[in-house]
Structure 1
């Protein structure tokens, strides 16, 4: 049987720290590593000067001995959750910020806004024990009616609320894994249901027409058509460097680092997309130097109008165009999901619905002129 010994550590300024010494070592449920010591965060006076300080020492020692006895019972019952008690008193908002800092480059802005709305709801401090099922449901209700931080006169969209609440639930799941929450609130609280939205895209004929239409900005032209040919987001294109381009004619690809690790992912790109990149000034320079979203917003509407395209269209719609055309030309959903970098194939399924509706519309385009004789033959089966 293991032992739990109450020990003292002499500190500066005349104080003595009390801690428990476990033998053999026990597994810390937060780290999975063996741990020997638990500091109790209670202190004695090294040399008590009066009755008050002596009484304090007696009471503190009694408390430490009570904790020691409790730990012995815990170990006998193979219960080690007590190691997390100190961390459970921590700040959930700080933990949320830690999770935000782990976000991938393409998702960092979304995490930033999710944290801002969470702080707007709860402030900068809430201890872990106060984060429960009721709190999570109240936060979901808040997001569904929350005013936009930049415009207090209107609420955020439902799909924006879906995204921000998903970040909160992901943080809940990690907090439970690290034993910072005693209950798996992630499993108890449902995600906010997304609202079906129309995803605008260009037909192949429209995309060809746009590519044939002069644009007032060469960098916007190149980045836009490149996105339509590869499905890459603006954030990926904006930060793409020449040293991320790999391969040779017929075998080009773009290399991406994954979530601040050394692992890499490769996206094959067609030769036409590579031809849009232009010449290489130096390997660590930006491929689309001078590209900004403000420039895209100012140039894109006029370019679309010149091409005779009357659609409410943003840069991200080039990604929708890529996905929709890939499915129309026979690419399977699993491959497309990987090409788009979706973590969940359910995200990709929205494009299947778009293609199904296009096929349904196409199925009604071939119609024969009906006449009385044709109808009579049809009815009699002759």
Structure 2
């Protein structure tokens, strides 16, 4: 039965993928239970069924707050549904790859909050209640690594080769193996080398306590933005582009699968360039 199959896939994501990815699979499952008959088997799946599910996400699905789904939620949930169909086809449960026969929703551009260099400098000087959080956040700003990869980074994955340092790790989100060169200052934030299997940022935790401290840390540094840990990754992308890195290099460093994901940051930089055009006060001209 399709719902059982989808539930098994979601559980597999819980054990293998990041918590955020599993959350999307779980939410998709909760929605599918509202539109897919409990006992529906793979033999009953056809194009009309696929269209019915798409129409549900487009017109009828509502969030926990009882409001229509956002465009990005439609995009994410329906893509999970398509991924399950593709998996079922690959494993012989379906004879037709219905995932290739239906159009996905368009993804809306989301707001990416980031720090300009002066704000990052103020954070670097300001007090943070948890030193390991401060080191990890600043390291993410300088390297672009995600929270999930920083949290699980162990010393075995940190390579010091003379004056050059890099981290070799498997991205938790994409499962791709990455070889990322880091700057000397980023390496200094890691501290003294410890046992190979020991976590680099020992004691780092995800939760309300650390999230709240980021807000308070920003307040102490007079940074009037809604900054989360993931904002550090956005900051890295914008700073690289502003300082001359080409978009292909930035895309590779961030581990993006598609260049269009990185192009969102290029738009941010372009808008800053437009602002800079008007930054010089007007002259009193006599020609």
* TM-score class normalised by the smaller sequence: 0.7 to 0.9
**How many Å separate the matches in 1 of 2:5 and 2:147?**
29
**Residue matched to 2:272:** 358
Paired residue for 2:156, among 233, 236, 243? 243
Partner of 1:42: none
Rounded Cα–Cα distance in structure 2 between residues aligned with 1:356 and 1:170: 35
User: In proportion to residue count, which structure has more strand?
Assistant: 1
Deviations 1:265-290 (A, max 9, x none): 21111121121122344221211122
Q: Name the counterpart of 1:32.
A: none
Q: What are the superposed Cα offsets for residues 308-328 of structure 1, whole Å, 9 maximum, x if unpaired?
A: 100111111110000111111
Q: Give the structure with the higher percent helix.
A: 2
Q: Is the 8 A contact 1:165 1:191 kept in 2?
A: yes
Q: 205-214 or 262-271: which moved more?
A: 262-271
Query: Quick check: 2:178–2:255 contact (8 Å CA) kept in 1?
Result: no
Separation in 2 of the partners of 1:265 and 1:93? 35
Q: How far 1:211 sits from its partner (Å)? A: 0.6
Residue 40 of structure 2, aligned match among 114, 126, 130: 126
Within-5 A mapping of 1:106-145: 107=18, 109-122=20-33, 125-144=39-58
- The TM-score normalised by the length of structure 2 is 0.85
Matches within 5 A, 1:363-374: 363-366=277-280, 368-369=282-283, 371=285, 373-374=286-287
Contact 2:85 2:99 in 1 (8 A): yes
Residues 233 and 316 of structure 1 are in contact (CA less than 8 Å); yes or no, is this contact kept in structure 2? Answer: yes
Distance 1:206 1:105 in 2: 36
Greater RCO between the two (CA within 8 Å, min separation 6)?
A: 2
Distance 2:134 2:229 in 1: 11
* Equivalent residue, structure 1, for 2:61: 146
The number of aligned residues is: 281
Alpha-carbon separation, structure 1, partners of 2:163 and 2:52: 54
Aligned to 1:76: none
In structure 2, C-alpha distance between the alignment counterparts of 1:285 and 1:116, rounded to whole Å: 34
- Computed over aligned residues only, the root mean square deviation of the Cα atoms, in angstroms, reads 2.9
Change (3 A) 1:146 1:285: farther
1:219 is the counterpart of 2:109:
no
Matched, 1:271 2:181: no
Relative to structure 1, the CA distance from residue 110 to residue 184 in structure 2 (aligned partners, 3 Å threshold; closer, same or farther) is: same
Are positions 1:311 and 2:221 aligned together?
A: no
C-alpha distance 98-247 of structure 1, shift in aligned 2 (>3 A): farther
CA contact (8 A) 1:110 1:164 kept: no
Q: Which residue of 2 aligns with 1:337?
A: 251
Deviation at 1:146, TM superposition (A): 3.3
Matched, 1:197 2:110: yes
- Deviations along 1:117-145, one digit per CA (max 9) or x if unpaired, are 22442366532233333333333343455
Query: Which residue of the partner structure matches residue 96 of structure 1?
Result: 6
Structure 2: tracts of 5 or more residues without a match: none
